Amino acid sequence: MSPSFFSNLWSGLAKTRDAIIDPIEALFSKKKVIDEETLEELEAVLIQADLGVAATTAIINKMRESGSRGEQVDADGAVALIEQELISILGERTAPLARADEPPTVVMVVGVNGTGKTTSIGKIASMLAHEGNRVTLAAADTFRAAAIEQLEVWGNRTGCNVVRHQEGSDPAAVAFDAYQAARARGSDYLLVDTAGRLHTKSNLMEELKKIKRVISRECDEAPHEVLLVVDATTGQNAIAQARVFNEAVGVTGVVLTKLDGTARGGIVVAISQELNIPVKYVGVGEGAEDLRPFSPERFVQGLLRADAGDDGRKGAKR
């Protein structure tokens, strides 16, 4: 992970970090034995940051255990305990992007409109291309001409092939052609962009299922990934979205975008734990550098550390 991404992640998480750290420092300003009142206040802080009930409960239980041993805890101690617990929760479910034994690895990208699907595809394509992979992009969001053009801009920028049809054509037919083209060109990856808004004539979930069926018909294991792109600023609503998409097309990984614009970055933990789906990438800005594979350690440090450590703005004040 590049140092610039870590410092972007760290500054992107500033709002969430303040929402967690400031109240904890106030709560544990003096070293103290944990009582039920402190636990209740801590619980409210963690829930507020959208960490989710399960993770919050796990942290509170750990705190209660040290309280019952009569141990005294200060702010640093409390943060260290939360850090450990979150890394362990997130670490249970990390997985890198799949890679098929027989290329192309097919990655279908889904999510409600405006969450950052097309932008994330561009950034993932850029990363994969830098690693020496051949990448084909499928413009299977045929709802708007602008959507197709937007993907073509990313194709030009990253040197990746884009397979497109006319606006309004069948998205599954685009996916089919793109799969054939990716095979013929010896592509390592095929990234399939999809629509996010409901069409007037067809149902979005039915459309996504059809795209998936058409791809599976060409290769049993494909799509190898169904990445759901969620906008972190939507908070708990992101979980509801994930449930709907997961039921329809079976989500294998989450891309969480716009962490830079929210105080609710804790939603990463809630999604990972409550849906048992690994977070594969996080986005902290609009630049091509601002999306990277998810690292639990880095993320939790960004969430809880008052300075960015050796990789970022060393010694910077929160």
Ligand X SMILES: Nc1nc2c(ncn2[C@@H]2O[C@H](COP(=O)(O)OP(=O)(O)OP(=O)(O)O)[C@@H](O)[C@H]2O)c(=O)[nH]1
Residues found near Mg ion in the complex (CB under 5 A) = 117-118
Residues 34-73 that bind ligand X (CB under 6 A): none
Contact 78, 59 (CB under 8 A): no
Applying CB under 6 A, does 285 fall inside the site for ligand X? yes
First to last CA, the chain: 22
- Which residue in 2, 72, 84, 113 binds ligand X (CB under 6 A)? 113
- Which residue in 258, 264, 292, 298 binds ligand X (CB under 6 A)? 258
- Which residue in 3, 91, 114, 159 binds ligand X (CB under 6 A)? 114
Stretch that binds ligand X, among 28-36, 131-139, 277-285, 308-316 (CB under 6 A): 277-285
Nearest residue by C-beta to Mg ion? 118
Interface with ligand X (CB under 6 A), residue total 21
Strands (E), the chain: 32-33, 72-73, 105-110, 135-140, 161-163, 189-194, 225-231, 253-257, 279-283, 291-293
- Rounded (10°) angle between helices 117-130 and 145-158: 20
Nearer to Mg ion, 85 or 193 (CB): 193
Applying CB under 6 A, does 196 fall inside the site for ligand X? yes
Nearer to ligand X, 116 or 266 (CB): 116
- Residue 116's binding partner among ligand X, Mg ion, none (Cβ under 5 to 8 angstroms by kind) is ligand X
Strand, coil or helix: 228: strand
Cβ count within 10 A of residue 129: 17
Applying CB under 6 A, does 115 fall inside the site for ligand X? yes
The CA distance from 174 to 164, in Å, is: 6
Applying CB under 6 A, does 233 fall inside the site for ligand X? no
- Residue 52's binding partner among Mg ion, ligand X, none (Cβ under 5 to 8 angstroms by kind) is none
Stretch that binds ligand X, among 44-52, 86-94, 282-290, 309-317 (CB under 6 A): 282-290
Strand order in the sheet with 225-231: 161-163, 135-140, 189-194, 105-110, 225-231, 253-257, 279-283, 291-293
Applying CB under 6 A, does 111 fall inside the site for ligand X? yes
- Residue 223's binding partner among ligand X, Mg ion, none (Cβ under 5 to 8 angstroms by kind) is none
Nearer to ligand X, 188 or 260 (CB): 260
- Residue 164's binding partner among Mg ion, ligand X, none (Cβ under 5 to 8 angstroms by kind) is none
Q: How far is CA 188 from the centre of its chain?
A: 22
Backbone angles phi, psi at 256, to 5 degrees: -105, 115
Strands (E), 61-160: 72-73, 105-110, 135-140
